[in-house]
Protein backbone atom coordinates (compact mmCIF):
# COMPACT_ATOMS: atom_id res chain seq x y z
CA UNK A 1 0.00 0.00 0.00
CA UNK A 2 1.38 3.44 -0.89
CA UNK A 3 1.93 5.79 2.06
CA UNK A 4 -0.38 8.78 2.24
CA UNK A 5 1.34 11.74 0.54
CA UNK A 6 1.11 13.82 3.72
CA UNK A 7 2.71 11.16 5.92
CA UNK A 8 6.34 11.81 6.90
CA UNK A 9 8.87 10.03 4.70
CA UNK A 10 9.07 6.34 5.60
CA UNK A 11 11.88 5.73 8.05
CA UNK A 12 11.93 1.97 7.54
CA UNK A 13 15.28 1.12 5.99
CA UNK A 14 15.01 -2.67 6.08
CA UNK A 15 11.95 -4.86 5.96
CA UNK A 16 11.47 -8.59 5.66
CA UNK A 17 8.04 -9.74 4.62
CA UNK A 18 7.00 -13.36 5.11
CA UNK A 19 10.51 -14.60 4.44
CA UNK A 20 11.01 -18.34 4.27
CA UNK A 21 14.53 -19.77 4.02
CA UNK A 22 15.22 -23.45 4.02
CA UNK A 23 18.08 -25.79 3.26
CA UNK A 24 17.72 -28.93 1.19
CA UNK A 25 18.17 -32.22 3.04
CA UNK A 26 17.84 -35.86 1.98
CA UNK A 27 14.35 -36.34 3.41
CA UNK A 28 12.56 -33.06 4.08
CA UNK A 29 13.92 -29.49 3.86
CA UNK A 30 15.39 -27.91 6.98
CA UNK A 31 13.24 -24.81 7.48
CA UNK A 32 15.16 -22.04 9.27
CA UNK A 33 13.01 -18.95 8.61
CA UNK A 34 9.29 -19.43 8.17
CA UNK A 35 7.20 -16.47 7.04
CA UNK A 36 9.44 -14.21 9.11
CA UNK A 37 8.50 -10.52 9.28
CA UNK A 38 10.92 -7.89 10.51
CA UNK A 39 11.39 -4.15 10.08
CA UNK A 40 14.05 -1.75 11.22
CA UNK A 41 13.97 2.06 11.17
CA UNK A 42 16.76 4.48 10.39
CA UNK A 43 18.94 4.98 13.45
CA UNK A 44 17.46 2.04 15.32
CA UNK A 45 19.65 -0.54 17.02
CA UNK A 46 18.28 -4.07 17.33
CA UNK A 47 19.84 -7.05 19.11
CA UNK A 48 19.18 -10.50 17.67
CA UNK A 49 19.51 -13.01 20.48
CA UNK A 50 18.74 -16.66 19.87
CA UNK A 51 20.32 -20.04 20.66
CA UNK A 52 23.06 -21.46 18.50
CA UNK A 53 21.62 -22.92 15.31
CA UNK A 54 18.37 -20.96 15.56
CA UNK A 55 19.10 -19.09 12.33
CA UNK A 56 20.72 -15.77 13.30
CA UNK A 57 23.37 -15.90 10.59
CA UNK A 58 20.77 -17.06 8.07
CA UNK A 59 18.57 -14.07 8.90
CA UNK A 60 21.51 -11.68 8.53
CA UNK A 61 22.52 -13.24 5.21
CA UNK A 62 19.01 -12.97 3.80
CA UNK A 63 18.55 -9.42 5.15
CA UNK A 64 21.95 -8.47 3.74
CA UNK A 65 21.15 -9.83 0.27
CA UNK A 66 23.85 -12.48 0.51
CA UNK A 67 21.23 -15.24 0.26
CA UNK A 68 17.85 -15.30 -1.39
CA UNK A 69 14.66 -16.28 0.39
CA UNK A 70 12.62 -19.11 -1.10
CA UNK A 71 9.45 -17.18 -0.31
CA UNK A 72 8.65 -13.64 0.78
CA UNK A 73 10.80 -10.62 0.10
CA UNK A 74 13.37 -8.25 1.54
CA UNK A 75 12.84 -4.50 1.06
CA UNK A 76 15.76 -2.11 1.24
CA UNK A 77 14.50 1.43 1.77
CA UNK A 78 11.20 0.31 0.27
CA UNK A 79 12.63 -1.41 -2.79
CA UNK A 80 11.75 -5.11 -3.15
CA UNK A 81 15.00 -7.04 -3.71
CA UNK A 82 13.89 -10.61 -4.37
CA UNK A 83 13.39 -10.17 -8.09
CA UNK A 84 16.58 -8.20 -8.69
CA UNK A 85 19.58 -9.59 -10.55
CA UNK A 86 22.63 -10.74 -8.62
CA UNK A 87 24.55 -7.75 -10.00
CA UNK A 88 21.95 -5.27 -8.77
CA UNK A 89 21.77 -6.94 -5.37
CA UNK A 90 25.55 -6.77 -5.07
CA UNK A 91 25.49 -3.07 -5.96
CA UNK A 92 22.79 -2.38 -3.36
CA UNK A 93 24.66 -4.39 -0.77
CA UNK A 94 27.88 -2.48 -1.42
CA UNK A 95 26.28 0.93 -1.13
CA UNK A 96 23.70 0.33 1.59
CA UNK A 97 24.90 -2.43 3.89
CA UNK A 98 27.96 -2.91 6.05
CA UNK A 99 28.83 -6.30 7.52
CA UNK A 100 30.84 -7.18 10.59
CA UNK A 101 31.55 -10.80 11.41
CA UNK A 102 32.88 -12.63 14.44
CA UNK A 103 36.27 -12.89 12.74
CA UNK A 104 37.69 -9.76 11.18
CA UNK A 105 38.28 -11.11 7.64
CA UNK A 106 40.76 -8.31 6.95
CA UNK A 107 43.10 -8.79 4.00
CA UNK A 108 46.39 -9.87 5.63
CA UNK A 109 48.76 -8.34 3.09
CA UNK A 110 47.28 -4.84 3.37
CA UNK A 111 47.58 -2.34 6.21
CA UNK A 112 44.65 -1.37 8.43
CA UNK A 113 44.21 1.90 6.50
CA UNK A 114 44.36 0.09 3.15
CA UNK A 115 41.74 -2.40 4.28
CA UNK A 116 39.40 0.51 5.00
CA UNK A 117 40.28 2.26 1.74
CA UNK A 118 39.60 -0.84 -0.37
CA UNK A 119 35.76 -0.78 -0.43
CA UNK A 120 35.80 2.97 -1.02
CA UNK A 121 38.08 2.65 -4.03
CA UNK A 122 36.00 -0.24 -5.39
CA UNK A 123 33.04 2.16 -5.10
CA UNK A 124 34.96 4.67 -7.24
CA UNK A 125 36.51 7.04 -4.71
CA UNK A 126 39.98 8.40 -5.50
CA UNK A 127 42.87 7.29 -3.33
CA UNK A 128 43.42 10.58 -1.40
CA UNK A 129 39.75 10.84 -0.40
CA UNK A 130 39.62 7.16 0.57
CA UNK A 131 42.77 7.58 2.63
CA UNK A 132 41.41 10.65 4.40
CA UNK A 133 38.21 8.84 5.35
CA UNK A 134 40.16 5.76 6.47
CA UNK A 135 42.27 7.94 8.74
CA UNK A 136 39.19 9.67 10.15
CA UNK A 137 37.56 6.33 10.88
CA UNK A 138 40.71 4.95 12.49
CA UNK A 139 40.88 8.06 14.68
CA UNK A 140 37.23 7.69 15.55
CA UNK A 141 37.86 4.08 16.58
CA UNK A 142 40.83 5.35 18.62
CA UNK A 143 43.40 3.43 16.62
CA UNK A 144 44.66 6.29 14.47
CA UNK A 145 48.23 5.35 15.35
CA UNK A 146 47.78 1.80 13.97
CA UNK A 147 46.81 2.65 10.38
CA UNK A 148 50.07 1.51 8.82
CA UNK A 149 50.10 -1.86 10.58
CA UNK A 150 49.03 -5.10 8.94
CA UNK A 151 46.28 -7.15 10.65
CA UNK A 152 48.76 -9.67 12.09
CA UNK A 153 50.46 -6.81 13.95
CA UNK A 154 47.24 -5.73 15.67
CA UNK A 155 45.50 -7.09 18.77
CA UNK A 156 42.16 -8.88 18.41
CA UNK A 157 40.28 -5.81 19.61
CA UNK A 158 42.18 -3.56 17.21
CA UNK A 159 41.55 -5.93 14.29
CA UNK A 160 37.84 -5.91 15.04
CA UNK A 161 37.78 -2.11 15.24
CA UNK A 162 39.40 -1.96 11.81
CA UNK A 163 36.77 -4.41 10.53
CA UNK A 164 34.03 -2.14 11.92
CA UNK A 165 35.61 0.91 10.28
CA UNK A 166 35.80 -0.97 6.98
CA UNK A 167 32.14 -1.97 7.26
CA UNK A 168 31.04 1.66 7.46
CA UNK A 169 33.63 3.07 5.04
CA UNK A 170 31.07 3.56 2.27
CA UNK A 171 28.55 5.16 4.65
CA UNK A 172 25.90 2.43 4.44
CA UNK A 173 22.46 2.98 5.95
CA UNK A 174 22.41 -0.46 7.59
CA UNK A 175 24.97 -2.34 9.63
CA UNK A 176 24.57 -6.09 10.05
CA UNK A 177 26.84 -7.64 12.66
CA UNK A 178 27.16 -11.35 13.41
CA UNK A 179 28.63 -11.82 16.88
CA UNK A 180 30.99 -8.86 16.39
CA UNK A 181 32.63 -9.34 19.78
CA UNK A 182 32.17 -13.11 20.04
CA UNK A 183 35.86 -13.83 19.52
CA UNK A 184 37.14 -11.39 22.17
CA UNK A 185 37.68 -11.62 25.91
CA UNK A 186 34.95 -9.88 27.95
CA UNK A 187 36.94 -6.72 28.66
CA UNK A 188 38.02 -6.25 25.04
CA UNK A 189 34.50 -7.13 23.88
CA UNK A 190 33.20 -4.33 26.12
CA UNK A 191 35.34 -1.57 24.66
CA UNK A 192 35.04 -2.77 21.06
CA UNK A 193 31.31 -2.80 21.47
CA UNK A 194 31.37 0.70 22.98
CA UNK A 195 33.23 1.93 19.90
CA UNK A 196 30.73 0.20 17.62
CA UNK A 197 27.78 1.63 19.51
CA UNK A 198 29.21 5.16 19.46
CA UNK A 199 29.78 4.93 15.72
CA UNK A 200 26.29 3.61 15.07
CA UNK A 201 24.63 6.27 17.22
CA UNK A 202 26.72 9.08 15.81
CA UNK A 203 26.18 8.12 12.18
CA UNK A 204 22.46 7.34 12.46
CA UNK A 205 22.96 3.84 11.09
CA UNK A 206 20.33 1.18 11.61
CA UNK A 207 22.10 -1.78 13.18
CA UNK A 208 21.04 -5.40 13.58
CA UNK A 209 23.49 -7.16 15.85
CA UNK A 210 23.42 -10.90 16.54
CA UNK A 211 24.90 -11.55 19.94
CA UNK A 212 24.88 -14.03 22.80
CA UNK A 213 25.91 -11.23 25.15
CA UNK A 214 22.89 -10.04 27.14
CA UNK A 215 24.70 -6.97 28.47
CA UNK A 216 25.23 -5.83 24.90
CA UNK A 217 21.68 -6.76 23.91
CA UNK A 218 20.27 -4.69 26.76
CA UNK A 219 21.95 -1.58 25.40
CA UNK A 220 20.12 -1.83 22.07
CA UNK A 221 16.84 -0.01 21.38
CA UNK A 222 15.06 -3.31 20.79
CA UNK A 223 15.68 -7.02 21.23
CA UNK A 224 14.36 -9.75 18.96
CA UNK A 225 14.69 -13.51 18.92
CA UNK A 226 13.79 -16.35 16.56
CA UNK A 227 10.92 -18.60 17.46
CA UNK A 228 9.74 -21.36 15.12
CA UNK A 229 11.37 -19.53 12.24
CA UNK A 230 9.74 -16.19 13.01
CA UNK A 231 11.25 -13.00 14.38
CA UNK A 232 9.63 -11.94 17.64
CA UNK A 233 10.34 -9.16 20.13
CA UNK A 234 11.20 -10.30 23.63
Site string for ligand ATP, 20-49 (x = CB under 6 A): ---x------x-x-----------------
Q: Rounded to whole angstroms, how far apart are CA atoms 172 and 161? A: 17
Query: Using CB under 6 A, which of 3, 29, 53, 78 touches ligand ATP?
Result: 53
By CB under 6 A, tell whether 55 contacts ligand ATP. yes
Q: Which is nearer to ligand ATP, 32 or 40 (CB)?
A: 32
Residues ≥6 apart with Cβ < 8 Å to 221: 44, 45, 46
Which residue stretch of 35-43, 56-64, 90-98, 150-158 sits at the interface with ligand ATP (rule: CB under 6 A)? Answer: 56-64
Is residue 63 within 8 A of residue 74, CB to CB? The reply is yes
Residue 30 or residue 171: which is nearer to ligand ATP going by CB? 30
Q: How far is the CB of 38 from ligand ATP (least distance, A)?
A: 14
Nearer to ligand ATP by Cβ, of 32 and 138: the residue is 32
Q: What's the closest the beta carbon of residue 103 comes to ligand ATP, in angstroms?
A: 12
50 binds ligand ATP (CB under 6 A): yes
| Shortest distance, position 159 Cβ to ligand ATP, whole Å | 20
User: Under the criterion CB under 6 A, does residue 93 sit at the interface with ligand ATP?
Assistant: no
DSSP result, 121-189? HHTT--HHHHHHHHHHHHHHTT-GGGTTS-GGGS-HHHHHHHHHHHHTTT--SEEEEESTTTTS-HHHH
Taking the least distance from each CB to ligand ATP, the nearer of 30 and 198 is 30
Does the footprint of ligand ATP cover residue 196 (CB under 6 A)?
no
Q: Are strands 45-48 and 79-80 parallel, antiparallel or unpaired?
A: unpaired
The length of the chain is 234
Return phi, psi of residue 97, to 5°.
-130, 135
Angstrom distance (rounded) from CA 233 to CA 216: 16
Going by C-alpha positions, the residue among 56, 86, 98 that lies closest to residue 196 is 98
Q: Nearest-5° angle of CA 226, CA 229, CA 205?
A: 50
52 binding ligand ATP? (CB under 6 A) = yes
Of residues 51, 50, 66, 64, the one with CA closest to residue 16: 64
- Residue placing its CB nearer to ligand ATP in the complex, 183 or 188: 183
Q: How far is the CB of 34 from ligand ATP (least distance, A)?
A: 12
Among 19, 36, 58, 159, binds ligand ATP (CB under 6 A): 58
DSSP state of 92: H
Query: Which among 55-63, 105-113, 144-152, 163-171 is the span making contact with ligand ATP, rule CB under 6 A?
Result: 55-63
Site residues (CB under 6 A) for ligand ATP? 23, 30, 32, 50, 52-58
Amino acid sequence: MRPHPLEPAARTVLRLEKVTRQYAQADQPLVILKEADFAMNAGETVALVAPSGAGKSTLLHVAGLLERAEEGDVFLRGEPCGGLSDARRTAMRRSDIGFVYQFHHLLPEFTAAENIMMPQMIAGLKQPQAQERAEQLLDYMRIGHRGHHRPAELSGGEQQRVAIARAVANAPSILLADEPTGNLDPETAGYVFEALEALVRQSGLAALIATHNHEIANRMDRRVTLQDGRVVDY
